[in-house]
Amino acid sequence: MVKKAKNSPAPPSTESQRKMVLRIRPPQKMKQVEDDIVEEPKSRKKPKTAAKKKAAKIDSDKPKKPPTAFFYFLEDFRKGYQEENPNVKSMRDVGKACGEKWKTMTYEEKVQYYDIATDKRAEFDRAMADYIKRKESGEDTKPKDSDSEYDE
């Protein structure tokens, strides 16, 4: 009695029934000499070559940019939404609902928020112009005092 292996196929009875199976493995690295293109496997992580840039010193006297019209709308919408839906605590859900409402609003409904944003932007532009003048004239330079709140 001849035992067959579990996974091996039955041997073909004639030469014409034999089929050749060719298995090709995908290349791990492909190089094209002409174009100098190197393709590496996707699972491989790229080394971090560039170090993080140090943040420039932040000037505390520089005016901050004002919010956009959408943020003024969000401020108003958030109050009403929380009154109507006290059980919703997630800011994500409030933000999504606000975004959907903003998209469906007409321009006439948005005008009041655009007006507020425009006024605040004009104030910012004036403050920025004053800041630049002070910076250029050198009036804004303050000597470092040793009597700082943070020094002990």
**Percentages of the chain per state (helix, strand, coil), in multiples of 5:** 40, 5, 55
| Of the candidates 40, 16, 20, the residue with the CA atom closest to the CA atom of residue 30 | 40
pTM of the full structure: 0.53
Specify the CATH number for the domain of residue 79. Answer: 1.10.30.10
129, part of any domain: yes
Q: Greatest CA separation found in the chain?
A: 105
| Of the candidates 130, 104, 108, 112, the residue with the CA atom closest to the CA atom of residue 76 | 112
pLDDT in tens, 101-136: 999 999 999 999 999 999 999 999 999 999 999 888
Beta-bridge partner residues of 39: 30
85, part of any domain: yes
- The count of domains in the chain is 1
pLDDT in tens, 55-105: 677 878 888 999 999 999 999 999 899 889 888 888 899 999 999 999 999
